[in-house]
Amino acid sequence: GAVVSQHPSWVICKSGTSVKIECRSLDFQATTMFWYRQFPKQSLMLMATSNEGSKATYEQGVEKDKFLINHASLTLSTLTVTSAHPEDSSFYICSARVRDRVSYEQYFGPGTRLTVT
């Protein structure tokens, strides 16, 4: 149980275009989803926290107009990288929180490798 999927697993796009990444919780409802960015050989950097039905909360330094997050349902959140540039190339990982009585544990998607040419 507690499976999180991401689509696509990898994407190559041209500079200036927009890319949408989907994150789905397959067998549970996720009231909260997180989007992380990971650079090579580095830790995960939290970009934003999204709650179903409300606006995402962005971390300091993350451009909300560039990284659009939508959490339209309890099982789907999307991250759209608008007007992508080569410096946006990265590994993007989503996570969904399983709400139980104790731990509010997070489960992670497999990640999406974005390459902007």
Partner 1 sequence: AQSVAQPEDQVNVAEGNPLTVKCTYSVSGNPYLFWYVQYPNRGLQFLLKYITGDNLVKGSYGFEAEFNKSQTSFHLKKPSALVSDSALYFCAVRDFSGGYQKVTFGTGTKLQVIP
Shortest distance in whole angstroms from residue 111 CB to partner 1: 5
- Do 31 and 52 form a contact (C-beta atoms < 8 A)? yes
Residue 111 interacts with partner 1 (CB under 8 A): yes or no? yes
Find the radius of gyration of the CA atoms of the chain.
14
Within 75-104, which residues bind partner 1 (CB under 8 A)? 91, 93, 95, 102-104
Is the Cβ of residue 30 or residue 93 nearer to partner 1 in the bound state? 93
CA distance 71 to 31: 9
Contact letters for partner 1, residues 29-58 (x by CB under 8 A): -----x------xxxx-x--x---------
Among 35, 56, 109, 116, binds partner 1 (CB under 8 A): 109
Is the Cβ of residue 20 or residue 113 nearer to partner 1 in the bound state? 113
**One-character DSSP codes across 7-59:** E-SEEEE-TT--EEEEEEESSS--SEEEEEEE-TTS-EEEEEEEETTSPPEEP
Residue 68 interacts with partner 1 (CB under 8 A): yes or no? no
- Do 50 and 33 form a contact (C-beta atoms < 8 A)? yes
Residue 4 interacts with partner 1 (CB under 8 A): yes or no? yes
Candidates 60, 113, 71; CA nearest to 96 is: 71
Instruction: Tell me which residues touch partner 1 (CB under 8 A).
Output: 4, 6, 34, 41-44, 46, 49, 91, 93, 95, 102-111, 113
